[in-house]
């Protein structure tokens, strides 16, 4: 603005851009993120899976629970005996694999979303409380988190699921409990780094209450590591929930959860490898996509790595 | 030095008490009265029920029960399995070597493959090899290992017939357990055929359990090497004309190893957790499979004792790594 006023004779078109405004943080973030091919691939795959999950009713060729008695263990279309009716084949009671996988995508995305939301909310709260209040509260909360962390995560999830009873809801609860410490630790570390900075002290002096300080003043500046962790949390959640399903402690048949699908068709491994192959491929691709995205987000959001 | 070790050991005690408390509480959360669950549908006269309660200490206040439990645990009494009526501790100790043997081999595999792969990827940064290693390790890290195990069985055991599908040893052989480690026992007994068979049985479970640690080790080694390779002393070493191999092998690797060793130590927990899945797939007679079977049989004392014992093992290994780390790296020892 000031340059324009001081040099009124120059025509605006001829003037070389006088003041370069820094790009909006989101634009800058997108610029860095875009250069990471792996992360872009991850994003595309996740969007595709999310779309499939959303529109499973429209996209799935069959109902996931209908049993085609005449087509038990029908092979995928590229086998000699395969037909276009069941593109990826059918399982041991004649249900269409492709349709079940599509509905399974919905379950897995939902598992990821619920687990991440739940554990993020609790972990964020605990970490904020520990970081803000310090002292005994901090020691108590973080000690408890350390105890949870000292147990192997899958073991803890298995035990919690076993005690709550098998089922998808309990499996999601179990997986959420297991990952809470990660969020709590990250939040606490970020809060401790921010809490003594001038802008926080300024708003404290201006009379902001603890809730306002926590949620409106400090939280937005702690978000970057949490966003990365939450993205990676999707992959942990999907993987662990599938593992619980595989062990019989997660979603119960006939729910088309990928891990459960794998477990219930184990004995057909030799006769019909496709019933075991596809659910595993689905888990691997989804988890890999979230890991790629998480890595890309970390690189793009971490100021230390920016050039 | 002694002070450092004592501090570390004393830090473990509250964690151990916390784990004990956690397992104690978790089992109380099981829906239903433990005695009614045990007698099942038959029902039981009230006076017998009261007697049972008294015998098991269930009529005591909760804090008293917890103190009793801690006392029992400290004297090595982890309860009695509901199904086999054996001491949970004895069952665990018989099965644990199998898990330990598998976990050790998996870690060895992860280190032997992951370390060189990570070093080479860092040295040839940006090359096709680097991209390949990073892509593969991210895939390994994302792998649902229960499915990976099935694929390997399908390919190597069923398809090619190279490796056995399950178990620890061929039924042809019997080796008196001395250490519980099959590879050592068979060698000590001089049964080379059995040793060969045990080795064959170990291959696939080792790969499956080692996949995630392998990915972690390779990634960590690469990033640690990249950091070290940018240091001044590396430039100095190169400038004074040392051969590439010597610069990388002696100057860079030694310093890059510090974070890698830590990561390897931290993987022990992951390994024992992953053992649950791996042992289930390969019918490996270790504590992971035993734990899952205990859940299926609603054998809660076994579950409780098993979890506590595994957690204790993880804590002890982490403590050991911590202390070793202090021995190797004086900077850690003297910090605070």
- Record: contact A152-B18, CB cut-off 8 A: no
- Measured between alpha carbons, how far is B10 from A89 in angstroms, rounded to an integer? 59
- Record: contact B142-A163, CB cut-off 8 A: no
Q: What predicted TM-score, i.e. pTM, was given to this entire model?
A: 0.85
B51 to chain A nearest CA, in Å? 26
Residues A200-224 have a mean pLDDT of 86
| Residue B208 domain flag | yes
Half-sphere exposure of B51 (CA within 13 A, CB side): 5
For residue A154, which residues of chain B lie inside 8 Å, CB to CB? 273-274, 276-277
Residue percentage of chain A with pLDDT more than 90? 29
Residue percentage of chain A with pLDDT more than 70? 92
Instruction: Check residue B139 and give its pLDDT.
Output: 93
Domain carrying residue B125: 88-168+203-332
Question: Which residue ranges of chain B lie beneath pLDDT 50?
Answer: 336
| Residue B283 domain flag | yes
Instruction: Check residue B336 and give its pLDDT.
Output: 45
- Record: contact A151-B314, CB cut-off 8 A: yes
Pick from B26, B296, B311: CB nearest A150: B311
| Residue A16 domain flag | no
- Measured between alpha carbons, how far is B333 from B229 in angstroms, rounded to an integer? 26
| Residue A86 domain flag | yes
For residue B276, which residues of chain A lie inside 8 Å, CB to CB? 154-155, 158, 247
List pLDDT tens digits, range A147-197.
888 788 888 888 888 888 888 998 999 999 989 999 999 999 888 888 888
For B226, the token pair is: 């990249």
| Residue B15 domain flag | no
For A290, the token pair is: 């979230």
| Residue B64 domain flag | no
User: How many whole angstroms from its chain centre is CA B148?
Assistant: 18
| Residue A269 domain flag | yes
| Residue A18 domain flag | no
Confidence of residue A6 (pLDDT cuts 50, 70, 90): very low
Nearest residue on chain B to A279, alpha-carbon basis: B147
Confidence of residue A9 (pLDDT cuts 50, 70, 90): very low
- Record: contact A283-B311, CB cut-off 8 A: no
Which own/partner contact pairs does B288-296 have at CB distance under 8 Å and 24+ positions apart? B288/B99, B290/B91, B290/B92, B290/B95, B291/A155, B291/A158, B292/A158, B292/A247, B294/B81, B294/B83, B295/A158, B295/A162, B295/A249, B296/A248
| Residue A8 domain flag | no
Number of separate domains in chain A: 1
| DSSP conformation class of B41 | G
CB-neighbour burial class of residue A277 (10 A; exposed 0-12, middle 13-18, buried 19+) = buried
For residue B310, which residues of chain A lie inside 8 Å, CB to CB? 152, 155
- Measured between alpha carbons, how far is A238 from A107 in angstroms, rounded to an integer? 9
| Residue A19 domain flag | no
Q: Are A97 and A247 in contact (CB under 8 A)?
A: no
B50 to chain A nearest CA, in Å? 25
Number of separate domains in chain B: 1
Q: How much is the ipTM here?
A: 0.83
Chain A residues with at least one Cβ partner in B under 8 Å: 38, 143-144, 146-148, 150-155, 158-160, 162-165, 235, 239, 242-243, 246-249, 259, 262, 266, 269-270, 273, 276-277, 279-280, 283-284, 287-288, 291-292, 295
- Is 50 exceeded by the pLDDT of residue A7? no
Nearest residue on chain B to A284, alpha-carbon basis: B143
Write b or e for each residue in B106-123: b if 16 or more Cβ atoms lie within 10 A of its Cβ, otherwise e: bbebbbeebbebbbbbbb
Write the DSSP assignment of A239-303 as a string of letters.
Answer: HHHHHHHHTTSSSPTTS--HHHHHHHTGGGTTT-THHHHHHHHHHHHHHHHHHHHHHHHHHHH-G
Beta-carbon contacts of B291 under 8 Å, excluding residues fewer than 6 positions away, are A155, A158, B276, B302, B303, B306, B307, B310
Q: Are A3 and A19 in contact (CB under 8 A)?
A: yes
Nearest alpha carbon to residue B181 among B111, B282, B294, B105: B105
**Which CATH number covers residue B228?**
1.10.3720.10
List pLDDT tens digits, range A261-295.
888 888 888 888 888 889 999 999 999 999 999 98
- Measured between alpha carbons, how far is A281 from A258 in angstroms, rounded to an integer? 10
Sign of CA dihedral A136, A141, A144, A149: negative
For residue A291, which residues of chain B lie inside 8 Å, CB to CB? 138, 141-142
- Record: contact B269-A159, CB cut-off 8 A: no
| Residue B292 domain flag | yes
For A109, the token pair is: 């995305």
Domain carrying residue A67: 26-305
B244 to chain A nearest CA, in Å? 27
Q: B144 and chain A: CB distance < 8 Å anywhere?
A: yes
- Record: contact A273-B31, CB cut-off 8 A: no
The residue behind tokens 């090595």 is B76
Nearest alpha carbon to residue A18 among A2, A41, A37: A2
**A22-31, A44-53, A187-196, B117-126: which has the minimum mean pLDDT?**
A22-31
User: How many whole angstroms from its chain centre is CA A53?
Assistant: 15
Phi, then psi, of B56 in degrees rounded to 5: -85, 0
| Residue A262 domain flag | yes
Instruction: Check residue A239 and give its pLDDT.
Output: 92
Phi, then psi, of A52 in degrees rounded to 5: -60, -45
- Record: contact A262-B147, CB cut-off 8 A: yes
| Residue B29 domain flag | no
- Record: contact A152-B303, CB cut-off 8 A: no
Query: For testing the chain A interface, which of B23, B153, B273, B300 should be mutated: the one with the most A CBs within 10 Å?
Result: B273
B15 to chain A nearest CA, in Å? 6
For residue A49, which residues of chain B lie inside 8 Å, CB to CB? none
- Measured between alpha carbons, how far is B148 from B27 in angstroms, rounded to an integer? 32
Nearest residue on chain A to B151, alpha-carbon basis: A277
| Residue B279 domain flag | yes
List pLDDT tens digits, range A81-139.
777 888 888 888 888 889 999 999 999 999 999 999 999 999 999 999 998 888 888 88
- Neighbouring CB atoms inside 10 A of A211's CB total 9
Q: B156 and chain A: CB distance < 8 Å anywhere?
A: no
| Residue A3 domain flag | no
**Which CATH number covers residue A133?**
1.10.3720.10
For residue B158, which residues of chain A lie inside 8 Å, CB to CB? 269-270
A26 to chain B nearest CA, in Å? 27
- Measured between alpha carbons, how far is B250 from B257 in angstroms, rounded to an integer? 11
A165 to chain B nearest CA, in Å? 8
Instruction: Check residue B178 and give its pLDDT.
Output: 74
């Amino acid at each position: 603005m000031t340059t324009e006023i001081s040099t009124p004779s120059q025509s605006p078109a001829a003037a070389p851009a006088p003041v370069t405004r820094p790009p909006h943080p989101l634009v800058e973030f997108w610029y860095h993120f875009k250069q990471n091919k792996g992360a872009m691939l991850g994003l595309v795959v996740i969007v595709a899976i999310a779309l499939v999950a959303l529109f499973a009713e429209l996209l799935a060729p069959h109902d996931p629970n209908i049993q085609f008695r005449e087509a038990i263990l029908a092979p995928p279309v590229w086998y000699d005996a395969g037909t276009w009716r069941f593109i990826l084949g059918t399982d041991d009671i004649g249900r269409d694999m492709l349709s079940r996988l599509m509905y399974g995508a919905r379950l897995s995305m939902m598992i990821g979303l619920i687990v991440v939301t739940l554990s993020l909310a609790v972990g964020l709260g605990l970490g904020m409380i520990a970081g803000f209040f310090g002292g005994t509260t901090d020691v108590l909360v973080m000690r408890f988190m350390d105890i949870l962390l000292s147990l192997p995560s899958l073991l803890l999830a298995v035990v919690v699921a076993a005690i709550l009873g098998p089922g998808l809801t309990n499996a999601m609860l179990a997986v959420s409990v297991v990952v809470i410490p990660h969020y709590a630790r990250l939040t606490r570390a970020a809060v401790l780094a921010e809490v003594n900075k001038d802008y926080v002290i300024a708003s404290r002096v201006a009379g902001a209450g603890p809730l306002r300080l926590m949620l409106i003043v400090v939280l937005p500046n702690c978000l970057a590591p949490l966003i990365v962790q939450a993205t990676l949390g999707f992959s942990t959640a999907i993987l662990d929930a599938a593992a619980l399903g595989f062990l019989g402690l997660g979603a119960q048949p006939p729910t088309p959860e990928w891990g459960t699908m794998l477990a219930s068709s184990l004995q057909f491994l030799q006769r019909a490898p496709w019933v075991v192959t596809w659910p595993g491929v689905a888990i691997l691709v989804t988890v890999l996509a979230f890991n790629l995205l998480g890595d890309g987000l970390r690189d793009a959001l971490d100021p230390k790595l920016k050039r | 030095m002694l002070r450092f070790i004592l501090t570390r050991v004393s830090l473990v005690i509250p964690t151990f008490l916390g784990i004990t408390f956690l397992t104690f509480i978790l089992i109380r959360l099981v829906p239903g009265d433990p005695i009614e669950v045990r007698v099942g549908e038959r029902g039981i006269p009230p006076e017998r029920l009261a007697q049972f309660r008294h015998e098991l200490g269930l009529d005591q206040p909760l804090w008293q029960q917890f103190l009793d439990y801690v006392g029992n645990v400290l004297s090595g009494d982890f309860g009695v399995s509901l199904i086999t009526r054996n001491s949970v501790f004895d069952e665990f100790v018989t099965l644990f070597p199998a898990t330990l043997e598998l976990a050790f081999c998996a870690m060895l595999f992860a280190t032997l493959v992951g370390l060189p792969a990570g070093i080479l990827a860092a040295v040839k940064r940006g090359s096709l090899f680097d991209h390949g290693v990073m892509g593969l390790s991210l895939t390994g890290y994302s792998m649902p290992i229960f499915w990976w195990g099935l694929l390997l069985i399908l390919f190597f055991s069923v398809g090619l017939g190279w490796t056995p599908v399950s178990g620890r040893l061929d039924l042809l052989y019997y080796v008196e357990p001395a250490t519980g480690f099959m590879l050592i026992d068979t060698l000590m007994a001089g049964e080379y055929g059995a040793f060969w068979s045990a080795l064959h049985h170990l291959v696939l479970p080792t790969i499956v359990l080692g996949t995630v640690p392998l990915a972690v080790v390779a990634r960590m080694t690469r990033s640690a090497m990249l950091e070290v390779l940018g240091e001044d002393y590396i430039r100095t070493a190169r400038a004074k004309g040392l051969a590439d191999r010597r610069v990388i092998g002696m100057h860079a690797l030694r310093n890059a190893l510090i974070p890698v060793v830590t990561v390897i130590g931290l993987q022990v927990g992951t390994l024992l957790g992953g053992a649950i899945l791996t042992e289930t797939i390969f019918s490996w007679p270790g504590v992971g499979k035993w734990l899952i079977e205990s859940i299926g049989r609603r054998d809660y004392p076994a579950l409780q004792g098993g979890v506590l014992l595994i957690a204790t093992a993880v804590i002890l290994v982490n403590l050991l790594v911590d202390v070793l780390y202090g021995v190797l790296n004086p900077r850690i020892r003297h910090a605070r």
